[in-house]
Structure formats: structure tokens, C-alpha cells
Structure 1
């Protein structure tokens, strides 16, 4: 006889699903055996061959400005993903060697991110992150 946790171990559990423009975002629990919980996210195109699967805890690498990795939460419109990052997390990331040694695609945006982080207090509200996809 199965108990509830035995059943949970055998199935993928959906967490978040949304469409935006040509894309579908699907977030799910792949493995739930406490304390090992694996959550993955998938982004795929409905029109072309683009697909990516990533570990939710790692997020999407932010090579635009070198900021923290992007963890999609929802969408703004057909071309914009919304995410957020805690003020303290952002401040710590900008102070890290990883950030200092990063070479983002938009160095000017990296400087702007440094200014933003310097203006934040540890107790400030989370920072909203908007990421526009290539058209």
C-alpha cells in the first residue's frame, strides 16, 4: 500500500505553466525525495526548434549584465519574462568575484547594475527584473 509520499516520488509534479508569444514555460518537480528535491524548468518554442531545460535552482545564466541568474516567475507580455531578486542577494552578487570578473554582452548595463546595487539597503523590497526576448 502506498502512502502519499510514495506516490509523489513516482510522478512529475507541475508547478508553473505559462505561454508568452511563441514560447511555453513549464516548471515542474522531477524528484521529490526529501531532502533531495529537483525542480526543472523548460522553455520551448511552438514555431521553431528552440528548447532549453534548466535546473530551477540555477536559473538562466544572465550574460546580459552579469547580474544574478534569471528565475522566471511570470510574464508581462508576449515578449517579456518577469523575475525578481532580493535586495541583499543582488548586493552580495554585485560584490562577488564572479560578478567582478564577468564580461557581459552589455558592459554599460553592468555599470548600471552596480549603481543600483549600491543604492539599495539590505532590507529593501525585491528588485523586479524584466527580460525581453529576441524577436
Structure 2
């Protein structure tokens, strides 16, 4: 699993204002983002690879997942981080909008999984929470 917060100087993070009311990081675990409020979530994760595994078929190699328990998950988005050779840089974005209708005793969480070796130069995460029943009017 990939750390969602790498703490590199070039990393970028942006969240809904007062995000701690809607989602949180648990202790020092940077691999899981826990969701605490019902609503609509928009999650974007971008990874810039400085090198890593490169061969194989066209199957996805990186997955943005929503876990509803420790072992039950849904792939929200998939991508491919491979380059043409081990030293190639690649830039891969994962993006999803999904709803969480209710929260039980076990908070659902977001995690990014990869099945190949990736050297990460930097990453970006953006999380926005929208309440149910909101309406937004377009203004020119």
C-alpha cells in the first residue's frame, strides 16, 4: 500500500475546510484515510514515479480503493504506473466521486494499492466532502 501522505517537500495536499469533522488520519498511519460522515466524497490522488517496475501486460497496476471493512473493498479507480524502462518517469492520476450513505461502528477508509514496485518522487491528494441534500446554483 502507498502512503497517501509522503511528507516530501514537493507533495501537495488540499482538503475540505474543517476536514477533521468529515475524515481523518489515524495516529501515524499515512496509508489510510478514514471517513467519518455520510455524504458525497470527491477524492483525487496523483503519483509521480521516478522509476520502478516496467514490464508486463496492460493490466492496471495501481488502485484507489474504498474499504468498508478490513477485507471488503471496492476499486474506485485504476491506473498504470509503468514506464518503458525502469528509469522512466510516469505521472498517474486516480479520481473518484462516491457516496457514503451511512457510517457504522467501523469507519470506511480510502487506500491506494499497487502490485508492483514504484519509486515515488512526489504525490498529490485532494479530498472534498459534500453533504447530502445540498444544491449549488451556478452564477455567472
| TM-score, length basis structure 1 | 0.30
Q: Larger relative contact order (C-alpha < 8 A, sep ≥ 6)? A: 2
- Indicate the structure with greater helix content: 1
Q: Which has the higher strand share?
A: 2
Given the two structures, how large is their TM-score scaled by the length of structure 2?
0.29
- Look at both structures and tell me which one has the larger radius of gyration over its CA atoms: 1
